[in-house]
């Protein structure tokens, strides 16, 4: 039986790693221009090879782990010891990318360097000497363009040769003599048994040079593996004092000095002083004062096209023709013609198709939104927004990295929450995992479109407003939570390579949109389908003297459940059973909010047609008292409260404990309730002039939130006291 070879794909964020993985395996991972797209290792068989499994590791800058994805990558290379590594580098940003390359080569694993972005280098007229780099590092270097799938077959052939006949020479970084002396001593100590039992087996396969360098850097992950003697530590302190720096910085400086020297040998710019088109555009879109207005304008245009124009035209056709005429009426006539019982006709037409169709009908709007976002991602603009918002977020205790999960979360909250692991500081990571679901994901888009069309008469500005409401909530949460002990501390550093602007690839856009839509359709065919059947049963049947039987909707199980819980939402303006059950079913999947309304109201096709048919005032209590104020309160609560069960599960995985997960769900729900309470009660008071008990409660809640926002930061105050005490002493 042929052995299955395992190859790790390693590289910096934005180096084209995921694009290369897709080209080699035929997979369709999401491709985006920011760190965190690959948030855990993924596997796929290399199509051009026989029996080779490719493992796509998270994008990392080094093997000195600070973030969770860096730990995932390094732990895999150490514990699994792959047969080879494809190290993809962005040739247009060599020095930064080769820093990681030197660390991988030191591990003694066979390496093939995939020199990516060669199409950009050739377009500039620059020269890259792959042969020279290959000679310096003693490993193969293949020039490729992952986006254009250029030289992919050649890369696979070289990889197979490297697996079968690996180059056994190990790269050795030139270091100061004092450091070399210390490393040699540690290597001797390791040979003589300073390994500890914990983790011994995988580390035994690593070169002594690598282990000694990590010991010199005082890498925290090696504390339980290499046991340094007191003499070793004293000698290390002498070296640090002599070179006037700590061990990690000494090694890091040596790497950059080495790379700066070889960069001059392997890369020649045609016009070194020429300002690139990317730099010219960045002067505008990352301008200190223009960047935010441009971003706001861009997102308004994106949502205007998706919700108010092109997306709406296609959605109307799907709802009115495909769902109402073809699916609902067609199935009803077909089932009645073959003598199907009335309850089954109702279940299929008024339950399943009405419920699922109420959500599927919004697919064109979602597709339009996803296409526009994919274009912005692939051209490189979204990476600039993360960079620009770092300046804003940092003022409120967050880093620009917190915006990256928010961007990913606009497709689905689950990968957005998972992307929070790219943040170094644990407190920031937890805060981002808790707050990033405030952003409107694809599941919430039908609710936004529903309220925008049915209550706000399709106002063009409404949908983008909900997007910025999500950003506002994240920032507000950052201000409040950062002033608590659980989340105190400086924001995580934000290091990110800004990619070159380039034309998006049709294949990349199709893959990105297809992946997001497929996830949505899968949910519609499973969770929403089952939910539709359950909701139909609960709103059709109730308890009578003769047992369970068909009843009027106001006497149904669904109505009784809703009426039992409706009091919770009276202060928010929508304390009726219909809105209550829609809100609670939204916990299972946010799409269920529209599914519930469609089934309760017996919608044929487009749920927005309730307005056009003048049915809002007659269907039930819910339509009788819905106003602009009530509608926005209902929307705000459903957008900001605890996300669906799948997102809560992802939050539990990232937060690591049930207590943290419960805290996150409680905080999200409390924030949403407070937000809607304050808005509804104060807006109602302003419009009617009537002051009630709940108006007073809303004012008290507002004052509490203002106190939490503007109170002094206890952590900074304590730091100031300590600093003053130190000065006085």
Band of residue 621 on the pLDDT scale cut at 50, 70, 90: very low
- DSSP conformation class of 465: H
How far, in Å, CA of 425 to CA of 433, rounded?
12
Per-residue confidence (pLDDT) for residue 605, from 0 to 100: 56
Decide if 199 contacts 225 (C-beta within 8 A).
yes
Decide if 102 contacts 255 (C-beta within 8 A).
yes
Hey, CA dihedral for 382, 386, 391, 395, is it positive or negative?
positive
The proportion of the chain whose per-residue pLDDT surpasses 90, expressed as a percent, equals 33
pLDDT above 80: residue 192: no
How far, in Å, CA of 81 to CA of 305, rounded?
49
Decide if 251 contacts 102 (C-beta within 8 A).
no
Band of residue 434 on the pLDDT scale cut at 50, 70, 90: very high
Residue carrying the six token digits 């500081």:
425
Q: Write out the two tokens for 377.
A: 């991602």
- Name which residue leads in pLDDT, 544 or 358: 544
Q: Write out the two tokens for 342.
A: 């009335």
Per-residue confidence (pLDDT) for residue 20, from 0 to 100: 93
Enumerate residues 6+ apart whose C-beta is below 8 A from 115.
89, 91, 128, 130, 133, 141, 142, 143, 144
Per-residue confidence (pLDDT) for residue 224, from 0 to 100: 67
Enumerate the β-bridge partners of residue 541.
550
Enumerate the β-bridge partners of residue 71.
none
Residue carrying the six token digits 């990681």:
100
Average pLDDT over residues 590-618: 65
pLDDT above 90: residue 686: yes
Distances (CA, A) of 184 to 178, 208, 212, 245, 713: 10, 9, 8, 20, 48
Decide if 90 contacts 116 (C-beta within 8 A).
yes
Enumerate residues 6+ apart whose C-beta is below 8 A from 176.
243, 250, 254
Per-residue confidence (pLDDT) for residue 179, from 0 to 100: 92
How far, in Å, CA of 17 to CA of 326, rounded?
44
3-state secondary structure 639-650: HHCCCCHHHHHH
Q: Write out the two tokens for 612.
A: 């056009």
pLDDT for 202-222, tens place per residue? 767 788 888 889 888 888 767
What domains are there in the chain, each with its CATH number?
5-164 (3.40.50.300), 177-268 (1.10.287.1770), 525-710 (no CATH)
Considering only CA atoms, which of 129, 105, 143 is closest in space to residue 262?
Answer: 129
Band of residue 559 on the pLDDT scale cut at 50, 70, 90: very high
Question: What does the angle CA 98 – CA 103 – CA 104 come to, to the nearest 5 degrees?
Answer: 90
Distances (CA, A) of 128 to 123, 144, 568, 708: 12, 12, 66, 55
Per mean pLDDT, which of 189-203, 240-254, 484-498 is the most reliable?
240-254
Q: Write out the two tokens for 187.
A: 């290597």
Per-residue confidence (pLDDT) for residue 729, from 0 to 100: 44
Average pLDDT over residues 599-612: 61
Residue carrying the six token digits 């150490």:
78
- Name which residue leads in pLDDT, 591 or 411: 591
- DSSP conformation class of 101: H
Helix (H) or strand (E) holding 325: none
Decide if 294 contacts 285 (C-beta within 8 A).
yes
Per-residue confidence (pLDDT) for residue 727, from 0 to 100: 42
Residues in the chain: 729
Considering only CA atoms, which of 142, 172, 175 is closest in space to residue 159?
Answer: 142
How far, in Å, CA of 288 to CA of 392, rounded?
11
Residue carrying the six token digits 């996300």:
643
Average model confidence (pLDDT) across the chain:
84
How far, in Å, CA of 232 to CA of 220, rounded?
16
How far, in Å, CA of 584 to CA of 558, rounded?
11
Of 453-457, 467-471, 627-631, 638-642, give the lowest mean pLDDT range: 453-457
Decide if 446 contacts 369 (C-beta within 8 A).
no
Band of residue 195 on the pLDDT scale cut at 50, 70, 90: low
pLDDT for 496-546, tens place per residue? 667 788 888 887 788 888 888 887 788 877 888 888 899 999 989 999 878
The proportion of the chain whose per-residue pLDDT surpasses 70, expressed as a percent, equals 88
How far, in Å, CA of 487 to CA of 516, rounded?
32
Enumerate residues 6+ apart whose C-beta is below 8 A from 254.
173, 174, 175, 176, 179
DSSP string covering 4-63: -EEEEEEE-TTSSHHHHHHHHH-------SSTTSS-S-EEEE-TTSSSEEEEEPPP-S-S
Decide if 167 contacts 141 (C-beta within 8 A).
no
Q: Write out the two tokens for 193.
A: 């048994």
The contacts found for 220-227 with CB under 8 angstroms, 24 or more apart, are 221/65, 221/71, 221/74, 224/196, 224/198, 224/199, 225/195, 225/196, 225/198, 225/199, 225/200, 226/186, 226/190, 226/194, 226/195, 226/196, 227/194, 227/195, 227/196
- Give the largest CA-CA distance in the chain: 94
Average pLDDT over residues 631-657: 91
How far, in Å, CA of 168 to CA of 109, rounded?
8
Cα R_g (the chain), whole angstroms: 29
pLDDT above 60: residue 355: yes
CA 126, 127, 130, 132: dihedral to nearest 10 degrees?
-140
Band of residue 11 on the pLDDT scale cut at 50, 70, 90: very high
Considering only CA atoms, which of 682, 674, 681 is closest in space to residue 707?
Answer: 674
Of 107-111, 194-198, 485-489, give the lowest mean pLDDT range: 194-198
Per mean pLDDT, which of 104-118, 484-498, 540-554 is the most reliable?
104-118
Enumerate the β-bridge partners of residue 150.
145
How far, in Å, CA of 101 to CA of 681, rounded?
59
DSSP, collapsed to helix, strand or coil, labels residue 508 as helix
CA 688, 694, 698, 700: dihedral to nearest 10 degrees?
130
Half-sphere exposure in the Cβ direction for 463 (13 Å, CA): 32
Q: Write out the two tokens for 670.
A: 């409390």
DSSP string covering 270-292: SSTTPPPHHHHHHHHHT-TTTHH
The bridge status of strand 141-143 relative to strand 267-268 is unpaired
């Amino acid at each position: 039986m042929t052995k299955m070879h395992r190859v790790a794909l390693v590289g910096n964020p934005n180096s084209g790693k995921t694009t290369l993985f897709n080209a080699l395996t035929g997979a369709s991972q999401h491709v985006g221009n920011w760190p965190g797209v690959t948030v855990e290792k993924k596997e796929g068989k290399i199509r051009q090879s026989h029996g080779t499994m490719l493992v796509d590791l998270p994008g990392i800058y080094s093997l000195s782990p600070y973030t969770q994805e860096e730990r995932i990558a390094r732990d895999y290379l150490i514990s699994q010891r792959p047969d080879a590594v494809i190290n993809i580098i962005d040739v247009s940003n060599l020095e930064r990318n080769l820093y990681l390359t030197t660390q991988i080569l030191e591990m003694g694993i066979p390496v093939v360097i995939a020199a990516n972005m060669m199409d950009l280098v050739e377009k500039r007229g620059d020269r890259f000497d792959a042969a020279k780099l290959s000679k310096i590092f003693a490993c193969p270097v293949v020039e490729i363009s992952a986006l254009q799938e250029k030289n992919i077959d050649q890369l696979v052939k070289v990889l197979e040769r490297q697996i079968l006949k690996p180059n056994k020479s190990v790269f050795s970084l030139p270091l100061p003599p004092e450091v070399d002396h210390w490393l040699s001593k540690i290597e001797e100590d390791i040979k003589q048994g300073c390994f500890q039992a914990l983790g011994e087996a995988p580390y035994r396969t690593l070169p002594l040079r690598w282990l000694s360098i990590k010991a010199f850097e005082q890498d925290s992950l090696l504390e339980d593996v290499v046991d340094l003697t007191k003499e070793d530590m004293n000698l290390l302190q002498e070296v640090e004092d002599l070179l006037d720096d700590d061990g990690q910085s000494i090694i890091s400086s040596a790497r950059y000095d080495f790379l700066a020297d070889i960069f001059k040998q392997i890369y020649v710019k045609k016009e070194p002083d020429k300002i690139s088109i990317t730099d010219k555009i960045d002067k505008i879109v990352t301008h200190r004062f223009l960047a935010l207005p441009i971003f706001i304008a861009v997102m308004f245009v994106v949502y205007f096209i998706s919700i108010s124009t092109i997306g709406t035209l296609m959605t109307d056709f799907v709802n009115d023709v495909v769902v109402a005429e073809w699916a609902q009426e067609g199935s009803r006539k077909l089932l009645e013609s073959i003598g199907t019982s009335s309850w089954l006709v109702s279940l299929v037409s008024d339950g399943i198709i009405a419920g699922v169709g109420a959500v599927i009908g919004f697919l064109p709007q979602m597709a339009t939104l996803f296409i526009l976002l994919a274009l912005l991602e692939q051209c490189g603009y979204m990476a600039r927004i993360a960079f620009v918002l770092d300046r804003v977020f940092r003022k409120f205790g967050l880093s620009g990295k917190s915006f990256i999960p928010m961007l990913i979360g606009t497709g689905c909250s689950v990968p957005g929450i998972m992307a929070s692991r790219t943040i170094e500081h644990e407190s920031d990571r937890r805060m981002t995992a808790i707050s990033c679901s405030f952003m409107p994901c694809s599941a919430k888009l039908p609710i936004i479109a529903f309220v925008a069309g049915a209550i706000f008469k399709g106002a063009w500005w409404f949908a983008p407003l909900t997007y910025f409401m999500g950003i506002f909530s994240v920032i507000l949460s950052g201000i409040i939570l950062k002033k608590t002990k659980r989340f105190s501390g400086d924001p995580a550093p934000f290091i990110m390579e800004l990619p070159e602007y380039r034309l998006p690839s049709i294949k990349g856009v199709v893959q990105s949109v297809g992946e997001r839509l497929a996830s949505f359709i899968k949910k519609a065919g499973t969770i929403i389908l089952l939910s539709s059947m359950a909701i139909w049963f609960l709103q059709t049947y109730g308890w009578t003297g003769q047992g369970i039987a068909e009843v009027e909707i106001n006497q149904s199980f669904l109505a009784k459940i809703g009426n039992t819980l409706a009091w919770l939402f009276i202060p928010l303006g929508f304390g009726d059973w219909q809105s209550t059950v829609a809100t609670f079913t939204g916990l299972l999947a946010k799409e269920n909010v529209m599914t519930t309304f469609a089934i309760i109201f017996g919608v044929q096709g487009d749920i927005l047609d309730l307005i056009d048919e003048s049915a809002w005032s007659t269907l039930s209590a819910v339509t009788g008292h819905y106003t602009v104020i009530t509608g926005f309160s209902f929307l705000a609560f459903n957008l900001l409260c605890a996300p669906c069960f799948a997102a809560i599960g992802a939050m539990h995985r990232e937060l690591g404990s049930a207590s943290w997960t419960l805290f996150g769900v409680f905080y999200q729900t409390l924030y949403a309730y407070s937000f809607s309470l304050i808005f509804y009660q104060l807006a109602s008071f302003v419009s009617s002039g009537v002051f009630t008990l709940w108006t007073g409660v809303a004012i008290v809640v507002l004052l509490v939130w203002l106190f939490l926002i503007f109170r002094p930061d206890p952590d900074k105050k304590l730091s100031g006291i300590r600093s003053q005490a130190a000065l006085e002493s």
